[in-house]
A and B are shown apart, each in its own frame.
Chain A
Amino acid sequence: MLKIENLSGGYSEIDILHGVAISIEPGETVTIIGANTAGKTSILRAISGVLPRVVGMIVLDGQAITHKPAHEIPALGIGHVPEGRHVFPRMTVEDNLFMGAYSARRKAKISSALEGVYKLFPRLLERRKQMAGSLSGGEQQMVAIGRALMCNPKLLLLDEPSLGLAPIVVDEVHEAILAINASGVSVLLVEQNASLALSVASRGYVLEDGRVVLQDTAEALRTNPEVRRAYLGI
C-alpha cells in the first residue's frame, strides 16, 4: 500500500536520507530500527510532507504523494504519531481527538471514531475534559495515538511511542498497537528500542546514517548476530 523508492532529502542542502527504499503491504506492521540520528524520524516526516526537502518517490495505493502539502495527507488515510507526542497542551483531551478528525470534519464518521478511541483507551474517556498538557507521559501518548486514529487511517506512522515511558505503560501502548493492527490498520513503527519493535512487527528495516543497510522478517532480524550486537545489546 505504501511504496518508498530512492528517497533522499533533509532539512537543508545536506542530505540526511540517502536513497531509502521501504514498502508496506496492507495490514502489515513494519518497523524501522536504527540508532539515534539515523534518520528514522526524517523518513516519517517525508511521508507526511513535513520534511523540508524531499527527493524520490512516495506512492500510496498507486498515487504519488511525494510533494503533497502536509495538510492533505491525513485525508488520504495516513495518521502520524510524532516523536515526543506533540499533544496540543492547552486543549482538552477531547479537543485533541477532535483535531485528529479535522480532515474528516464534514463527515458523520467522527462520533464512531471517537467511540473507538475511548474503547481502546478507556482512561481518555475519564480524562476527556482535562487539558492534555496536564496528563502523564503515557496518557499523552494515548492522546497522540488516539488523535491519529481519528482520521480513520489505513496506515499509522508511529515514532518512538515507548520513549520515556515506564515499562508498565510501554506494555499498554504495545497492546494498543497490536489491537490497532488487528483491526486492519497497517503500521509503520519507528523505535530505538529494537527488541520491543521486533516483537510487534512482522518485518523490519535497519537504518544507518540515512541508508537502509538490512531488511528482513522480524524473526530473522532478532536472530541476526549483527543486529543482536548493535541493537539488542546481547
Chain B
Amino acid sequence: MLGMYAVWFTWSIFEIDPILGSPLAFIIIFFVGYVIQKFFIHHIMKAPAAAQIFLTVGLMVVLENMALMVFGSDFRSVAVTYQTESIHLGEIFISKSYLYAFLAALVITGLLWTLLATSWIGRAIRAVAQDAMMAELVGVNATTTYNIAFGLGVGLTAFGGAVILPYISVSPTIGSHFSVLMFTVVVLGGLGSVAGALAGGIVVGVIQSLSSLVFPIHLQNLILFIIFIAVLVVRPNGLLKEG
C-alpha cells in the first residue's frame, strides 16, 4: 500500500512511470521498515506470538487509517501509455503492464538472490537466520541485521506494489486484498524457504489463470484453496520443504 502510494505520487507529481519509480518506492519503504523494526518489532522479538500479532496488526491498522486520513478512501490509479496494449504471440495475448511487472519482479528476484548469496550483508542475514548467537560470535550485529532484513522485506513488498500499479488501483486497504493470497503462496511453497515462495507464487498464479479458463472467474479462489488444502494434506510442510 505504501509502495503503491509512493509511486502514485511520483507518477502524479513528477510523471515518473511506476515501474521506473519502483526502486524509489523500495528505498523509501526500506527505511520505513528499518525504523519500524528498530523501534517497535525489535522489542517483541522474544515475546509470545499473541503480542507479536497485536503489534503487527496494530501497526497495520494505524498505517491504513493514516492513509485514509491523508489520501481518503478513493481508489487511485495511474494512466500510462502501455496500459491497454498487449503483445501477440501467435494465439497468446500478453498484456504489456503484466509483462513489465513480471520482468521487474524477475530482476528484483535476481538482485535479491545475488545480494543474499554473495554480499557480506547477505551472508550475515542468512547466518543470523540460521544461528543468531553464532552470528554474534563471529562479529555480526544481529539487531542491525534484523533491521536491514525487515527493511528489505517491506521494501520488496513496496516494490511489488509499485510495479502492479499500472493495472491495479490503490486504496488504503489494498494490502488485505493480497495478504490471504500471500499466505497461500508462502505456505504452499514451504514457510521459510525462498525457492518455495517463488515456486508457490508461480503455482498459485498458474492455478488461478487456468481455473478461470474452465470455471467461472468468481470460483477462481475456490479452486485455488481446494488445491491448496489438498497439497497440504499430502505435503504438510509445503511443496519444497521436507518434514
Residues of A within 8 A of B (CB): 48-50, 69-75, 80, 82, 86, 88-91, 95, 98-100, 102-103, 105, 147, 151
Which residues from chain A contact B141 at a C-beta distance below 8 Å? 69, 71
Contact assessment for B126 and A88 in the assembled complex, using a CB-CB cutoff below 8 Å = yes
Which residues from chain A contact B135 at a C-beta distance below 8 Å? 88, 99
**Can you list 16 residue pairs at the A/B interface with Cβ under 8 Å?**
A69-B136, A70-B136, A70-B137, A71-B140, A72-B139, A74-B137, A75-B139, A80-B137, A82-B133, A86-B134, A88-B130, A91-B130, A95-B126, A99-B123, A102-B140, A151-B139
Contact assessment for B136 and A71 in the assembled complex, using a CB-CB cutoff below 8 Å = yes
B133-157 contacts to A, CB under 8 A, are: 133-142
The distance from the CB of B142 to the nearest CB of chain A, in whole angstroms, is 7
Determine the interface band of chain B, counting residues with CB < 8 A from chain A: 10 to 19
Contact assessment for B139 and A102 in the assembled complex, using a CB-CB cutoff below 8 Å = yes
Contact assessment for A102 and B124 in the assembled complex, using a CB-CB cutoff below 8 Å = yes
In the complex, whether B127 has a CB less than 8 A from a CB of chain A is yes
Contact assessment for A103 and B126 in the assembled complex, using a CB-CB cutoff below 8 Å = no
Which residues from chain B contact A90 at a C-beta distance below 8 Å? 126, 130
Q: Which of B126, B131, B136, B137 has the most CB of A within 10 A?
A: B137
Since A82-B137, A102-B139, A103-B139 are in contact, a sample of 17 more A-B pairs with Cβ atoms closer than 8 Å, ordered by chain A residue number, is: A48-B137, A50-B133, A50-B137, A69-B136, A70-B133, A71-B141, A72-B139, A74-B138, A74-B139, A82-B133, A86-B131, A86-B137, A88-B130, A88-B134, A90-B130, A91-B127, A99-B140
For the complex, give the distance between the alpha carbons of A166 and B179 in Å: 51
Which residues from chain A contact B136 at a C-beta distance below 8 Å? 49-50, 69-71
Residues of B within 8 A of A (CB): 120, 123-124, 126-127, 130-131, 133-142
Contact assessment for B133 and A99 in the assembled complex, using a CB-CB cutoff below 8 Å = no
Which residues from chain B contact A99 at a C-beta distance below 8 Å? 123-124, 127, 135, 138, 140
Which residues from chain B contact A151 at a C-beta distance below 8 Å? 138-139
The distance from the CB of B41 to the nearest CB of chain A, in whole angstroms, is 20
Which residues from chain B contact A89 at a C-beta distance below 8 Å? 130
Which residues from chain A contact B130 at a C-beta distance below 8 Å? 88-91
